[in-house]
Amino acid sequence: MNITKKDIDTLNAVVTVDIKKEDYSDKVQSVLNNYRKTANIPGFRKGHVPMGMVQKQYGKAVLVEEVNKILQDSLHNFLTEEKLDVLGNPLPKNEMEIDWNTDDFSFEFDLGLSPKFDVDVKAKTITNYKIVADDKMLDNQVKTIRKQYGKLISKKEVAKEDEITGTFTSSEKNIENKATLSTEVVKGKKQLSALLGAKVGDTVTLKTKGMFGDDHDNQKYLGVEHEDAHGLDIEVSLKIEEVNKRELADMNQEFFDKLFGEGVVSSEAELKAKIKEDAEKQFEQQSDQKLLNDVVESLIDNTKFELPGAFLQRWIQMSGEKPLTEEEAKAEYERSEKGLRYQLIEGKIRNENKIQVTFDELKAHSREMIKGQMAQFGQMNPSDEELDNIASRILSNEEEVKRISEQLNTNKLLQFFKENAKLKTKEITYEKFIKEAYE
């Protein structure tokens, strides 16, 4: 048997596997001998079927199967030993031309080779947002919390900052949705004016255009679908069923203890500091995700290399459950090309910088995750034995291991970018972050 590789260009090659009779004849004969021992053919005792008859009935199928086994093993070993970095899988080139009635066979496979390229994570300056909770946000949050823990006082007539419970209806959009909303979410002046002074039992007609500051509130309060919520411009009726005023909770120690536990917070200033700390921890997750997305986009835009596009389109066309047309394969390649480029870039970054997750890291992360979950149920000091036993069960689940590995890999990659990419830190409020980062 002989295997050779011929480079077509830097991204494409052809591998030829020559298999001779001596490579497969013993294996084929062994299989046929076993068939002869077990074959049930009318007119012959089991184990006494003439070999010529076994050869005639099974010989071609056994030959094809054994040669293909040798072919696949040899090709796999060759790619591994030669350390060829291939994209997709080898594609048979001349399988329709193989004459199975000869003794020797020559198989050809097209290969798509991974491109050579360099990655510069400092190619472009990326904004790293530091989202801060400003005084306006803290004041609003404190007010919201005090409302949640305050008293509900029933009223007959709507005034500012009251809560209205009622049913929105509209025949135009088949709306019939019961909701509770505060007059504070109503941003349209005409709509707010129509509500103020309305009484329990009244039905108020409102225009939806500009009624809320965020069109998504049309989903929340009117019950329309997402695609209808944006730019909704109809009239709706609101039958008022209840009006309530929320009396804010007193800012005393009992209130602080309800929120954070006994003695953790003892003043409004400490309350705001705690809210600020918790909020900015959550904001960090959003800014990290934004940073990761921006670095990925920058790397794709600034890392230039060619791909074996024609080969990959043929591979896509042939590798699915059912073959695609050329047009379908081309469209699928165009959809996936960007992801493939980043997959190659990320792989190179990980390999060159030895960014990988060890089993010890998986286990340690699992233990911390378990401790956090147990703490939510009041189990603050689980034993090492308990943690190890639960972690072992988690790590025996292949899907869980994959999920945790992906999470840790992403965290490691993010940390690498924070330490090595060219970043410009920008301090910003959450409101401005949403507008600047996503709008």
Full DSSP string of 275-330: HHHHHHHHHHHHHHHHHHHHHHHHHHHH------HHHHHHHHHHHSSSPPPHHHHH
CA distance 247 to 227: 37
User: Which pLDDT value is given to residue 37?
Assistant: 83
Tokens of 175: 């709306």
* Average per-residue pLDDT for the chain: 93
46 pLDDT exceeds 80?
Answer: no
Least confident of 154-168, 245-259, 375-389: 375-389
> How remote is the C-alpha of 221 from its chain's centroid?
30
Tokens of 177: 């949705």
Class of domain 267-438: mainly alpha
CA distance 154 to 163: 10
Task: Pick the closest to residue 110 from 387, 317, 255 (CA basis).
Answer: 317
Mean pLDDT of 114-119: 96
Confirm if 352 and 328 have CB atoms less than 8 A apart.
Answer: no
Domain 151-247, what fold?
Answer: Chitinase A; domain 3 (3.10.50)
Task: Pick the closest to residue 69 from 12, 134, 17, 128 (CA basis).
Answer: 17
Q: Indicate the domain borders of the chain.
A: 2-113, 151-247, 267-438
Compute the Cα dihedral for 379, 385, 389, 395 and give only its sign. Answer: positive
- Condensed to tens digits (0 to 9), the pLDDT of residues 49-94 reads 788 888 888 899 999 999 999 999 999 999 999 999 999 999 999 8
User: Which pLDDT value is given to residue 439?
Assistant: 67
Compute the Cα dihedral for 130, 136, 142, 148 and give only its sign. Answer: negative
User: Which pLDDT value is given to residue 438?
Assistant: 77
Mean pLDDT of 86-108: 93
Residues 6+ apart with CB under 8 A from 183: 158, 159, 160, 161, 162, 163, 164, 192, 195, 196
Choose which CATH entry (3.40.190.10, 3.30.70.1050, 3.40.50.12280, 1.20.910.10) describes domain 2-113: 3.30.70.1050
43 pLDDT exceeds 90?
Answer: no
User: Which pLDDT value is given to residue 295?
Assistant: 97
User: Which pLDDT value is given to residue 197?
Assistant: 96
253 pLDDT exceeds 90?
Answer: yes
User: Which pLDDT value is given to residue 212?
Assistant: 95
388 vs 118, higher pLDDT: 118
Mean pLDDT of 253-258: 92
Residues 6+ apart with CB under 8 A from 232: 173, 208, 209, 215, 218, 222, 224
- Condensed to tens digits (0 to 9), the pLDDT of residues 328-337 reads 999 999 999 9
CA distance 248 to 250: 6
252 pLDDT exceeds 90?
Answer: yes
What is the share, in percent, of the chain residues with pLDDT greater than 90?
A: 80
48 pLDDT exceeds 80?
Answer: no
Residues 6+ apart with CB under 8 A from 248: 143, 146, 147, 150
Helices (H), 1-121: 21-38, 51-81
Mean pLDDT of 170-192: 95
Confirm if 419 and 355 have CB atoms less than 8 A apart.
Answer: no
CA distance 283 to 141: 15
- Condensed to tens digits (0 to 9), the pLDDT of residues 301-312 reads 999 999 999 999
96 vs 287, higher pLDDT: 287
188 vs 56, higher pLDDT: 188
Number of helical (H) and strand (E) elements in the chain, helices listed first: 14, 11
Compute CA distances 300 → 152, 278, 342, whole Å: 55, 34, 6
Question: What angle do the packed helices 268-302 and 430-438 form, to 10 degrees?
Answer: 20
Confirm if 174 and 198 have CB atoms less than 8 A apart.
Answer: no
- Condensed to tens digits (0 to 9), the pLDDT of residues 404-413 reads 999 999 999 9
User: Which pLDDT value is given to residue 52?
Assistant: 85
CA distance 57 to 428: 78
User: Which pLDDT value is given to residue 375?
Assistant: 84
What is the share, in percent, of the chain residues with pLDDT greater than 70?
A: 100
Tokens of 229: 């919520």
